Amino acid sequence: MIKFMNRPGMAVNAGIALLAASVLSGLTAGAKAAPVDITDITNVSLGSGGVVNSMTVQIGGGPGTDTLLQSDLINVTLTGYTDSDNAQLTLTDGGSVPSPVASVVEDFSIDSGIANPSSATFTFNAPVVNRPGADIILVDVGGNNDALTVAIGSEDVAYIASTADYSGFAGRAFDIMQSDGGGPFTSVSDLNNATFSLASSTSSSNRNFLLIELDDFLVASGDSITALTITASEYDPMAVFGIAYTAIPEPASMTLFAAAGGLCMLRRRR
């Protein structure tokens, strides 16, 4: 027969043990990756050269917000490019054309990109998973009437810049560069081999951030995509980001942890 000793304080110790187990269980659950149901962008923080450092995003359509760091964004590689006329780039004010030229859309900057391509295909540097809310962020420079079509798999969806989820930075100057020879351009190689000269400088255009949901392209929840193609006559892609989901601590777990700490302090004082 097993005998249990009824010693003073044993009930308190047992309570602390049970609470500690609950805390560990809660923290374990909170450590699992949780999808962020992003429904809007409320602020964008930039570094030198217009590089995106972070974004404040709205969660679940409510008042809650979260912060996406640059490390939470999946960058892209330009893998397809066509233009029937002169190729155009945008660069940070006073900047130089990068080598290779295609890297102009691979630098996290909203001041540099491709102006008015006939089409551009972007391959993500890691798969983008369809989770609740937005999965992709497109950044354009230009007017509210800039239109584009996004193709993912066999599905095409049309958008317009006036529906952007965040617009700003109209005072940021940038240069427009134009190829020295005309088109047609049929590949990224053509773009990389072109030479460019300054066409104009401007600081009058907004940067428009557009949230894209993979649900709109009939991608099943939990499935992923690796590329998209933009076709447009006026749209100027500055950046394309996939959204990577990271662990979010559960508030309940933190509350349990604080409560357990309080009980332990109480036990020590007795």
Q: Considering only CA atoms, which of 206, 216, 214 is closest in space to residue 172?
A: 206
Q: What is the pLDDT of residue 110?
A: 93
Q: So where are the chain's domains?
A: 10-30+250-263, 38-243
- From CA 130, how far away is CA 124, in angstroms rounded? 14
Closest CA to 134 of 226, 38, 241, 70: 38
If DSSP codes are grouped into helix, strand and coil, which group holds residue 264? Answer: helix
Name the DSSP class of 31: T
* Sequence-separated (6 or more) residues with CB below 8 Å from residue 238: 90, 105, 109, 110, 111, 112, 113, 139, 140, 141, 207
pTM of the model: 0.79
pLDDT digits (tens, 9 = 90+) for 54-70: 999 998 867 788 999 99
Structure tokens belonging to residue 32: 């699992």
Higher pLDDT, 136 or 163: 136
pLDDT tens, residue by residue, 150-200: 999 999 999 987 778 898 888 888 999 999 988 899 999 999 999 999 999
The percentage of residues in the chain with a pLDDT greater than 70, rounded to a whole number, is: 75
Summarize pLDDT for 20-54 with one digit per residue, the tens.
444 444 433 333 245 568 999 999 999 999 999 99
Q: Is the pLDDT of residue 202 over 90?
A: no
pLDDT for residue 257 is more than 50: no
Whether the ω angle into residue 8 lies within 30 degrees of 0, i.e. cis, is no
Work out the pLDDT band at 203, boundaries 50, 70, 90. confident
The helix/strand count (H/E) of the chain reads as: 3, 17
